[in-house]
């Protein structure tokens, strides 16, 4: 229950932006993984020079996937 509240709070945070597809500002996808899972984040450069997150997620590996090299 607490994890769902935390996820909902982060997802609905006003800091997340919508990707502006009409902008010339670049969009970045960052991915990181470990033996436990993978996490990713989609970001876009903003007009004010900052790089703002648009969305993010993670996936836990199952036992078989955790053994992939």
pLDDT at position 14 over 90: no
Maximum distance among all Cα pairs of the chain, rounded to whole angstroms: 44
pLDDT of residue 69: 64
Element containing residue 27 per DSSP (H, E): strand 27-33
What fold, for 2-67? Ubiquitin-like (UB roll) (3.10.20)
Q: Is the dihedral of CA 39, 44, 50, 55 positive or negative?
A: negative
How does residue 7 score in pLDDT terms, banded at 50, 70 and 90? Answer: confident
- What's the whole-model pTM score? 0.68
pLDDT at position 3 over 70: yes
Q: Classify residue 9 by its DSSP letter.
A: H
pLDDT of residue 10: 76
50 exposed, middle or buried (CB, 10 Å; 0-12, 13-18, 19+)?
exposed
């Amino acid at each position: 229950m607490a994890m769902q509240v935390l996820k909902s709070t982060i997802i609905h945070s006003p800091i997340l932006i919508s990707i502006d597809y009409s902008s010339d500002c670049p969009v970045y996808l960052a991915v990181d993984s470990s033996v436990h899972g993978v996490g990713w984040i989609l970001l876009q450069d903003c007009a004010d020079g900052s790089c703002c997150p648009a969305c993010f997620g993670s996936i836990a590996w199952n036992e078989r996937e955790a053994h992939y090299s």
